[in-house]
Amino acid sequence: MNERLKGKTVVITGASGGLGEKIAHLCAASGARPVLLARNQEKLAQVARQIGDGQHVDCLPIVCDLSRQEEIPSVFQEILQETGGIDILVNNAGYGVFAEAGEVSLADLQGMFSVNVVGLIACTTEVIPVMKERRSGHIINIASQAGKLATPKSSVYSATKHAVLGYTNSLRMELADFGVFVTAVNPGPMATNFFDIADPGGSYVENVGRFILSTDKVAQKIVAAMMTRRREINMPGWMNAGSLAYTLFPGLVERLGKKAFFKK
């Protein structure tokens, strides 16, 4: 439970399953009203019903495709009309495709940047004026450990998450004087349907299965940090230590980690 969330409106992208769904359930359990954004209307409605039945909270499910950025302003206008304000935005939607740099299709390249970067920025742009005016709010961007330490077969995906981290770090400084918190979340691999697209052959999941994070644990960390000044959430700790080591000794980490990095 996070007592700070009582009566708050929390907008969550990618909320029809996985981490986004878990965050929505926990926010509702803490007394917040989740606004669920995703492409799949049927799954959104199902999650909203489950939260309504389990937590007796009125969820607001809205179909939104982040790759169609021209529709995002009207979506957020609808949210503001229905709720009167947005207290927290969780930019969770995103996907990846594992392929070597020379084999990534143009469609996959454009798709990952469209959703992971441009869609995230477009949603954030809609809430900035609202939060600045109220001098309160929290923007939480789900990045990745891949944004700190790029590995083979994730060149484009890592590039999108590097972009998210750069945007988040700049945004944090811009909004600090307005009472708006900005947090980057950098998880390692999680047990979601992410790998259905990223790793359809299953080799990566097979190789790193024992290191995969549970969405419950990641969601709990995120919800506990809501409406606090938490700068980053990095999970798991040992993987973040590797990312820090890479910052200090990139050549050494690349040499020592080469075999492990190619296990995708």
CA distance 228 to 110: 34
Amino acid found at 58: D
Nearest in space to 180 (alpha carbons), one of 73, 118, 88: 88
Could you tell me the CA-to-CA distances from 236 to 250, 259, 260 in Å, in that order?
20, 20, 17
Nearest in space to 86 (alpha carbons), one of 103, 68, 114, 62: 62
- Taking the CB of residue 11, how many other CB atoms lie within 10 A of it? 27
Question: Crossing angle of helices 155-175/120-134, nearest 10°?
Answer: 10
- Is 246 a known active-site residue? no
- Taking the CB of residue 50, how many other CB atoms lie within 10 A of it? 15
Identified catalytic residue from 95, 157, 167, 246: 157
CA distance 22 to 240: 23
- For 73-101, give the DSSP string: HHHHHHHHHHHS---EEEE---------G
Name the one residue in this structure whose structure tokens are 């590039």: 159
CA distance 54 to 36: 16
Could you tell me the CA-to-CA distances from 126 to 39, 46, 56, 69, 187 in Å, in that order?
19, 26, 28, 11, 25
Name the one residue in this structure whose structure tokens are 């004026």: 129
Q: What is the dihedral sign for C-alpha 198, 202, 204, 208?
A: positive
Active site residue ranges = 157
